[in-house]
Amino acid sequence: MKMLINVPETVVADALRGMAAAHPELAVDVENRVIVRRDAPVAGKVALVSGGGSGHEPLHGGFVGPGMLSAACPGEVFTSPVPDQMVRAAAAVDSGAGVLFVVKNYTGDVLNFDMAAELAEDEGIQVAKVLVNDDVAVTDSLYTAGRRGTGATLFVEKIAGAAADEGRPLERVEAIARQVNDSSRSFGVALSAVTTPAKGSPTFDLPVGELELGIGIHGEPGRERRPMMTSGEIAEAAVDAVLTDLTPRNPVLVLVNGMGATPLLELYGFNAEVQRVLGERGVAVARTLVGNYVTSLDMAGASVTLCEIDEELLGLWDAPVKTPGLRWGM
């Protein structure tokens, strides 16, 4: 496979060096693998820290900045960061108002963030945690006990980040983050397999002319394989899978997310079908975001995330944000 890399062993470090050069508003510690808002800690403000394996960019490092995360910890490709990274990040951004860890539900992430919370509290840092587990495709998978954390991570980080920037206390920021997660559901579809730098070839076999419904962001198996479907048919399968588990009475936020190798031309066309299906199902849409936000390296495909919102959550979603991967209102 052709990749724009030097050697697999330095992929993450090289990317972090490039990120530092492109975004001077961030303090990027390449050696210790921590990305921090350069103005952190912000006095009186709850700090948000997240992280996970690399390969899902812009998640999480691309979401560090005003209105979202205070810091992020990138692990190796598809591998959890270690507790030392998380503790270092928490110490760098804590202003005394506490730190919220946003954790996707993957076994390594959960264990390491739990350990990091204990270590940080030993150092006098108040820590709360929220677990993101929005994927309705499968329960218990290759990487998880329970549901996987996927696209709703963006909603949690954006909305809770806005609440923190408004000066809300840790308990309230945590409660808002939990509300967003509890109100969100996702479903993903793969049109091709993912290739990691270390392996250099597809990590699973997906024959030409087939797709996988319910795929995970590390290439974990989904619900089933089918012959290739039209964009409209895929939208119906994805939206119906989400609505089987979520019955929104209020309008929803919609994330149509590319998995890394799907061009915007296709994603916007797919979004048109998602909007059609939601309209046919009687679901009102408040806001829509389309693009590659929670990716899986070079996987072709997309995911759909819906989040039921109220006026408070919508206001926090609309609040200004300025990060490498998401920005408006500034």
Residues 71, 81 contacting (CB under 8 angstroms) = no
Q: Which tokens in the block code for residue 159?
A: 């909305």
- The pLDDT mean for the chain works out to 96
Q: Are strands 252-258 and 99-104 parallel, antiparallel or unpaired?
A: unpaired
Bridge partners, residue 35, by sequence: 28, 72
What's the number of CA atoms in the CB half-sphere (13 Å) around residue 314? 13
Determine the average pLDDT of the residues in 126-133.
98
Is this model's pTM higher than 0.95 or not? yes
Residues 249, 310 contacting (CB under 8 angstroms) = no
Which of 190, 100, 184 has the alpha carbon at shortest distance from 147? 184
Choose, from 101, 154, 218, 289, the residue flagged as catalytic. 218
Q: Which tokens in the block code for residue 238?
A: 């994805």
Please list, in sequence order, all residues whose beta carbon lies within 8 angstroms of the beta carbon of residue 326, skipping any fewer than 6 positions away.
Answer: 58, 62, 63, 68, 154, 158, 293
218 is catalytic: yes
One-character DSSP codes across 195-215: B-TTT-SBSS---TTEEEET-
23 is catalytic: no
Choose, from 23, 45, 56, 168, the residue flagged as catalytic. 56
pLDDT in tens, 84-122: 999 999 999 999 999 999 999 999 999 999 999 999 999
